[in-house]
Amino acid sequence: MVETSGSGRFHYPQRPRWIPPVLASQGRLFALLWILGFASLFVWQRNSLAGGISLDLLRWRLFPPSPDPWPFPRLRPSAFKLTDFGGVGDGRRMNTKAFEKAVAKISRLSKRGGGQLNVPPGMWLTAPFNLTSHMTLFLAEGAVILGVQDEKYWPLMPPLKSYGHGREHKGPRYGSLIHGQHLKDVVITGQNGTIDGQGKSWWTKYRRKLLNYTRGPLVQLMWSSDIIISHITLRDSPFWTLHPFDCKNVTVSHVTILAPVNEAPNTDGIDPDSCEDMLIENCYISVGDDGIAIKSGWDQYGIAYGKPSTNIVIRNVITRSMVSAGVSIGSEMSGGVSNITVENLHVWTSKRGIRIKTAAGRGGHIRDITYRNITLDNVRVGIVIKTDYNEHPDEDFNPKAFPVLKDIRFEGIHGQGVRVPVRIHGCEEIPIQNVTFRDMSVGITYKKKHIFQCSYVQGRVIGTVFPSPCDNLDQYDEQERLVKAAVSPNITDVDYDF
């Protein structure tokens, strides 16, 4: 302790005699401890690296990332290059065996934390291959994984149980270029390297009806958990681009997804399908169908499979779709879709902005859906809810399996150049319940009637909404006091002529 005398001076306690004089000052003590600590760290680092610990792992141990509710990509204790397994990145020679050997090597390291496969710059042509658990696939800047275009190299797989048939043909379907089943702890990341499906030949054969089976996705992971896909580009998929099926705890972040906006059929960007606990953020998507489409099975097959898509957050996404919508739910939603949040979404130069689509025969539910801070820029129809999307896998569906649509919120909807801001089309068997609009102002290009269209919808409008809402909805002021009651929730004012 510090003591004072009557003179007001400070006196420090006398140093015990057993402390060496060299350590008398705090500065010298700190310097000596720092030198000893650094020396021991150097020895530990040398031994660790000699034992196969990567320098990146060392940095992670010394300076771990700050806590975050969404996981960072795991650093692996072992890393390999595709060229270690005979890979050649000339765009001509096949690298399927090299990928398979690398994955087999990493699969044997699962109890030791797995491994990372580094794909160097180059054009790496390959047929479809599978991933394994506890694996990181890392694409360097300038690395391109190319899918072989000849469909004879693409394996056939059974149809998804929740669909009953292939989406385009009955019977089997083609597998995906990069595939995985029953996996845990999988990371696909890089320095914005590319996975290219070379889909043009597939699209041409599809339009000419030269394919006997449903086209395959670019990346498909099934019955898997703890997945991170980040900082890569996915382009020109033969079919849906990124398709997680019945997966849990999935993060898709800083991913660019591209396909021609015309004449690239069914090239959805991201299709969460019967997935739980999923985050999609900071992505740019411009494709030939839906930017993002949340699904959960098709008619009686999806009802029997019974696995909903739930707890999904989509945020900070820019998307474009000249054929369908920026973000869709359905139409295959028979297992149910619930607890979805879409926020900070920008849809530009598209046919539709936000779309919910279903039909009699689907069953299931769409509920607890929140759209917040949505920007619509040059969009033909801003918000669409459609209940007559009558595509069915076969004739065995139950036409009285009516889906339930309720508790859907739209907050902070803004934009310009929109022809029809809202088109909500419920029907007597499928009424749309408890819809809320709040803080909406959309600049329109069509200034006659049929701007805010409704049928069989019940809900409310809070505060100022432009253009004027339909009479099906109760209108409240900002303090949520009733201003005008709905005339009838069943008024029909939907015009599909434009």
Catalytic residue numbers read 289
CA atoms within 13 A on the CB side of 96: 13
Residue 20 CB burial class (10 angstroms; 0-12, 13-18, ≥19): exposed
Gap between the Cα atoms of 298 and 300, Å rounded:
7
Q: Write phi, then psi, for 111 (nearest 5 degrees).
A: -75, -15
Q: Tokens 């005339």 correspond to what residue? A: 487
Distance in angstroms (rounded) separating the CA atoms of residues 77 and 16 = 48
As given in the structure block, the two tokens for residue 351 are 């046919």
For 211, the 3-state DSSP assignment is coil
> What's phi and psi for 16, nearest 5 deg?
-60, 145
* Closest to 413 in 3D by CA, of 453, 458, 459, 462: 462
CB-based contacts of 189, cutoff 8 Å, min separation 6: 73, 136, 137, 138, 139, 228, 229, 230, 231, 232
In which residue are the tokens 């028979």 written? Answer: 334
Alpha carbon distance 86, 222 (integer Å): 29
- Distance (Å, rounded) from C-alpha 197 to C-alpha 112? 33
Give dist(CA 281, CA 241) in Å, integer: 16
Helix then strand then coil, % of the chain, to nearest 5: 15, 45, 40
Distance CA 289, CA 325 (A): 7
CB-CB contact of 194 with 145 (8 Å): yes
Spatial neighbors of 63 by CB under 8 A, at least 6 apart, are: none
